[in-house]
């Protein structure tokens, strides 16, 4: 059951209906989900089912036929224990219905202004050790936009690791407290983030531009000189300039300028 990532207004009519009709609402945090249910006048009983109790799901849910599951926020199964519950439910031969709804990475990705056609959702990086190193290395050459979740107390470490990986000039967006009072989507370069988020508070999504998303504009004049020195002229020169990333019109202008 997708639930709001902040603003209680971000819940779908179908989610409310399902919460109302279930025999029980299993949830990561009963206090948090109780607040949502109270807000909408829903009286369905709650039971706790989080990462620590998930192993006892069979016992926790034994008395119920229709169970709605709500994680802390957003869509269960996205960086939370929901995925384990889905696997368990299938193993029991239960029917699983997943409703579309809020999740933090989609608004963060879209608001980043970075390319959305191809992206990779990495969730939380492993906190330390070889596993973290391996994941970071795998991201080094990533040609898609990269989306990460991060906790505030780990943000600085992760930003520093990302600077080491991609360099200070790499484009990034930091989405904070989405749909809440202090919502912010900051866009800039990785090198600026450490100072900008020196005392991080709230919930964060990091969106990194793809490795080659914004191809560096080639130094057209330098390229022109080099290609001329190699003996290229006219159409061959225009084509070579274009192949190197110079816009077609500009490539033609440069190639024929001194030829004329």
What is the distance between the alpha carbons of residues 123 and 133, in angstroms, rounded to a whole number? Answer: 15
> Which member of 19, 25, 57, 104 binds ligand SAM (CB under 6 A)?
104
To the nearest whole angstrom, how small is the minimum distance from the Cβ of residue 14 to ligand SAM?
17
Nearer to ligand SAM, 78 or 255 (CB): 78
Q: Does 3 bind ligand SAM (CB under 6 A)?
A: no
Q: Is 149 in the site for ligand SAM (CB under 6 A)?
A: yes
According to DSSP, the residues that pair with 124 across neighbouring strands are 149
Window contacting ligand SAM (CB under 6 A); options: 60-68, 90-98, 144-152, 185-193: 144-152
Check if the beta carbon of residue 166 is closer than 8 Å to that of residue 190. yes
**If binding is defined by CB under 6 A, does position 67 make contact with ligand SAM?**
no
| H helical segments located in the chain | 13-21, 30-39, 57-60, 82-91, 105-112, 129-139, 155-166, 190-196, 220-229, 234-243, 248-257
Q: Residue 178, interface with ligand SAM (CB under 6 A)? A: yes
Q: What is the spatial distance between Cα 181 and Cα 8, in angstroms, rounded to a whole number?
A: 12
The residues near 203 (Cβ < 8 Å, ≥ 6 apart) are 5, 104, 152, 176, 177, 178
Helix (H) or strand (E) holding 205, with range, is: strand 204-208
Q: Which is nearer to ligand SAM, 119 or 149 (CB)?
A: 149
Using CB under 6 A, pick the residue from 20, 32, 132, 180 that binds ligand SAM: 180
**Residue 67 or 227: which CB sits closer to ligand SAM?**
67
24 near ligand SAM, rule: CB under 6 A: no
User: Using the rule CB under 6 A, which residue among 94, 96, 110, 151 binds ligand SAM?
Assistant: 151
Cβ contacts of residue 14 below 8 Å, gap of 6+? 99
Examine residue 179 and tell whether it contacts ligand SAM (CB under 6 A): yes
Q: Which residue in 36, 74, 109, 185 binds ligand SAM (CB under 6 A)?
A: 74
| Residue of 145, 143, 105, 111 lying closest to 124 (CA atoms) | 105
Q: Please tell me the count of residues contacting ligand SAM according to CB under 6 A.
A: 24
CB 9 → ligand SAM: shortest distance, Å? 13
Residues that bind ligand SAM (CB under 6 A): 5-6, 71-75, 78-80, 103-105, 149-151, 175, 177-180, 203-205
């Amino acid at each position: 059951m997708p639930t709001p990532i902040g603003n209680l207004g971000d819940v779908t009519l179908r989610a409310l209906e399902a919460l109302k009709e279930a025999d029980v609402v299993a949830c990561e945090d009963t206090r948090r989900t109780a607040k949502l249910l109270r807000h909408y006048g829903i009286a369905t009983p709650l039971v706790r089912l989080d990462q620590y109790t998930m192993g006892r799901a069979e016992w926790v849910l034994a008395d119920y036929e229709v169970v709605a599951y709500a994680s802390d926020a957003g869509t269960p199964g996205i960086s939370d224990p929901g995925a384990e519950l889905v696997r368990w439910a299938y193993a029991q031969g239960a029917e699983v219905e997943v409703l579309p709804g809020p999740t933090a990475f989609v608004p963060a990705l879209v608001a980043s202004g970075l390319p959305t056609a191809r992206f990779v959702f990495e969730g939380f990086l492993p906190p330390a050790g070889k596993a973290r190193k391996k994941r970071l290395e795998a991201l080094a050459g990533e040609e898609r936009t990269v989306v990460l979740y991060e906790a505030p107390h780990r943000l600085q470490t992760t930003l520093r690791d990302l600077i080491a990986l991609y360099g200070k000039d790499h484009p990034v967006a930091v989405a904070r407290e989405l749909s809440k009072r202090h919502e912010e989507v900051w866009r800039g370069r990785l090198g600026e983030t450490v100072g900008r988020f020196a005392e991080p508070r709230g919930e964060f999504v990091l969106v990194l531009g793809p490795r080659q998303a914004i191809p560096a504009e080639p130094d057209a004049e330098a390229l022109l000189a080099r290609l001329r020195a190699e003996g290229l002229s006219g159409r061959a020169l225009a084509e070579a300039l274009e192949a190197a990333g110079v816009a077609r019109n500009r490539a033609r202008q440069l190639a024929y300028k001194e030829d004329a």
